């Protein structure tokens, strides 16, 4: 048991073929930079422990999301590119699910049957993200009564339609 643990902790064994995966996950926007780094190191440790190899980690910075995610309009985007097995990806995603600071994640298989020794490790990248934009302001509540909300126009349209003679019904189209 001890020997198997030491073999997988140093990365993938020689001669094995792995799949290349990409996982993009969103972290809470109010998280401090050192806590984001702590999450990255935790996920990097999971990949190494499970016999995979981390190729590249990109921190895309704080960006606006396409829609509200867990009441957040912005998030810190992180991209992991790594080699591993399907079992390792399941463990990676399980740990993302357990981390409260992770809002959303998605894993995609990039390539099949990749040689870990041939795939070079690339340096980590940290991008600045979007400039700070203030959060959306809350809308002021509208009163429930007192305004007609456009309903009074409906009756006026009906009266106007009754006053205009229907010419199409009166004259048949003969040609």
User: pLDDT of 44-71, one tens digit each?
Assistant: 999 999 999 999 999 999 999 999 999 9
- Give the residue among 21, 7, 4 at the shortest CA–CA distance from 114: 21
Does 136 fall in a domain? no
User: pLDDT of 140-171, one tens digit each?
Assistant: 777 776 555 555 555 555 555 565 565 655 56
Does 147 fall in a domain? no
Give the per-residue pLDDT at 166. Answer: 59
CATH of the domain at 85: 3.30.70.60
Beta strands in 121-174, from DSSP E residues, in sequence order:
125-126
Mean pLDDT of 92-103: 95
Does 126 fall in a domain? no
Does 100 fall in a domain? yes
Beta strands in 32-172, from DSSP E residues, in sequence order:
53-69, 72-84, 102-114, 125-126
Does 172 fall in a domain? no
**Residue 98 Cα distances to 10, 43, 134, angstroms:** 25, 12, 29
**Is residue 25 within 8 Å of residue 107, measured between CB atoms?**
no
Percent of residues, the chain, with pLDDT higher than 90: 54
83: containing domain: 16-118
Round to whole Å and give the CA distance between 89 and 41: 16
Round to whole Å and give the CA distance between 94 and 20: 18
Does 41 fall in a domain? yes
Does 112 fall in a domain? yes
Q: How many domains does the chain have?
A: 1
User: pLDDT of 1-15, one tens digit each?
Assistant: 444 443 444 566 666
CB burial string 5-16: b at 16+ within 10 A, e below:
eeeeeebbeeee
Look at strands 53-69 and 72-84 and give their pairing.
antiparallel
Round to whole Å and give the CA distance between 157 and 170: 22
């Amino acid at each position: 048991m001890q020997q198997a643990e030491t073999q997988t902790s140093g990365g993938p064994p020689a001669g094995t073929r792995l799949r290349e995966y990409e996982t993009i996950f969103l972290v809470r926007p109010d998280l401090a930079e050192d806590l984001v780094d702590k999450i990255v190191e935790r996920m990097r440790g999971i990949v190494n422990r499970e016999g995979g190899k981390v190729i590249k980690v990109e921190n895309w910075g704080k960006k606006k999301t396409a829609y509200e995610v867990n009441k957040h309009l912005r998030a810190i985007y992180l991209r992991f590119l790594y080699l591993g097995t399907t079992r390792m990806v399941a463990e990676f995603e399980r740990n993302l699910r357990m981390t409260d600071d992770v809002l959303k994640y998605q894993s995609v298989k990039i390539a099949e049957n990749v040689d870990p020794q041939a795939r070079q490790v690339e340096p980590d990248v940290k991008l600045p993200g979007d400039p700070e934009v203030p959060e959306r302001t809350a809308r002021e509540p509208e009163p429930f009564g007192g305004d007609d909300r456009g309903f009074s126009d409906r009756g006026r349209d009906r009266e106007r339609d009754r006053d205009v003679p229907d010419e199409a019904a009166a004259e048949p189209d003969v040609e």
